[in-house]
């Protein structure tokens, strides 16, 4: 017997790919990745985006998600890629999709795919941890102790039971600041800024908090409010994380700006008059 094939014409080929940046803000930080997928696919239908579909008996829109933030954390820098059956202008597509998404799940950037390897560019994340009720001095001392330690072992429960791993090696930077410096008179609130490399096993902000408790007995009285500020390529020299969509944006610019041809420019230049 031959292999079964679905009836009807094959799906339309991919005409264009678009990479999008989106956020999880406010109460919607508690949405799971599956919740976001459902909301995004509804937005695609509502905005009448001409999606390319997979082949087979259960076609689905071709959407690729990259390194989604854990449930319960906010984010300003989540990424995905969609494949279209008909080309669309990225700015127009961004506006249509953002209007169709719930407030808090916001589409903030769109660029046509011109380079490969978005997932490989997501090498590190910048996180902000807001520790309400924690004095700046205690947070700063704990961050210093964490960075000075060669190894900080923490435990995390997985589907195979408790797992012990080092949370220190993945942390490239950990700084503390005092929120009351800008708002004197308020209750204590320390801010931790964290740069974490994407390694295996993944080190999450809550793993770093467990490490701070282990090395310095730092235990915030209320759960930390965690927000991912950026993710992308990691610069070892500066310790910064760069925009992963920049290579695509630069590639678009180089193909839309036509270079000046020397011969053509010379032909158009005025010929100086010689002596009579």
CATH number at residue 155: 3.30.70
Angstrom distance (rounded) from CA 240 to CA 173: 9
Per-residue confidence (pLDDT) for residue 257, from 0 to 100: 57
Are 192 and 111 in a shared domain? no
In this structure, are strands 225-235 and 161-166 parallel, antiparallel, or unpaired?
A: unpaired
Are 209 and 192 in a shared domain? yes
For residues 102-130, average pLDDT: 96
Are 129 and 234 in a shared domain? yes
Are 60 and 99 in a shared domain? yes
**Confidence bin at 11 (pLDDT 50/70/90):** confident
Among the candidates 91, 120, 149, a domain finishes at 120
Q: What is the mean pLDDT of the chain?
A: 89
**Confidence bin at 159 (pLDDT 50/70/90):** confident
**Confidence bin at 4 (pLDDT 50/70/90):** low
Q: What percentage of residues in the chain have a pLDDT greater than 70?
A: 87
Classify 56 in phi/psi space as left (phi over 0), alpha (psi -120 to 50) or beta. Answer: left
Are 40 and 73 in a shared domain? yes
Are 128 and 237 in a shared domain? yes
87 close to 6: Cβ distance less than 8 angstroms: no
Number of domains in the chain: 2
Are 115 and 130 in a shared domain? no
pLDDT tens-digit series, residues 202-237:
999 999 999 999 999 999 999 999 999 999 999 988
Are 226 and 136 in a shared domain? yes
Report CA dihedral (56, 58, 60, 62) to the nearest 10 degrees. -20
pLDDT tens-digit series, residues 124-142:
999 999 999 999 999 999 9
pLDDT of 263 over the 50 cut: no
* Domain region containing 55: 16-120
| Highest-scoring range by mean pLDDT, 177-191, 231-245, 258-272 | 231-245
């Amino acid at each position: 017997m031959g292999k079964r094939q679905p009836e009807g014409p094959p799906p339309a080929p991919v005409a264009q790919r678009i990479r999008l940046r989106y956020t999880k803000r406010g109460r919607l930080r508690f949405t799971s990745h599956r919740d976001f997928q459902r909301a995004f696919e509804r937005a695609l239908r509502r905005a009448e985006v001409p999606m390319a579909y997979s082949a087979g008996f259960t076609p689905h829109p071709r959407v690729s998600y990259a390194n989604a933030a854990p449930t319960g954390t906010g984010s300003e820098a989540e990424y995905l890629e969609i494949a279209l059956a008909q080309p669309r202008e990225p700015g127009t597509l961004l506006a249509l999709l953002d209007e169709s998404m719930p407030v808090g799940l916001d589409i903030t950037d769109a660029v046509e795919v011109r380079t490969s390897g978005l997932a490989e560019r997501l090498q590190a994340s910048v996180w902000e941890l807001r520790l309400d009720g924690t004095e700046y001095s205690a947070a700063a001392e704990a961050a210093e102790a964490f960075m000075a330690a060669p190894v900080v072992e923490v435990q995390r429960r997985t589907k195979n039971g408790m797992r012990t791993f080092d949370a220190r090696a993945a942390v490239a930077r950990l700084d503390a600041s005092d929120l009351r410096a800008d708002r004197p008179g308020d209750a204590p609130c320390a801010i931790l800024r964290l740069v974490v490399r994407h390694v295996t096993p993944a080190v999450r902000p809550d793993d770093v908090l467990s490490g701070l408790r282990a090395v310095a007995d730092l235990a915030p009285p209320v759960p930390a409010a965690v927000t991912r500020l950026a993710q992308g390529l990691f610069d070892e020299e500066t310790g910064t994380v760069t925009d992963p969509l920049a290579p695509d944006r630069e590639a678009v610019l180089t193909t839309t700006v036509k270079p000046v041809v020397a011969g053509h420019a010379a032909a158009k230049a005025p010929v100086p008059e010689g002596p009579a």
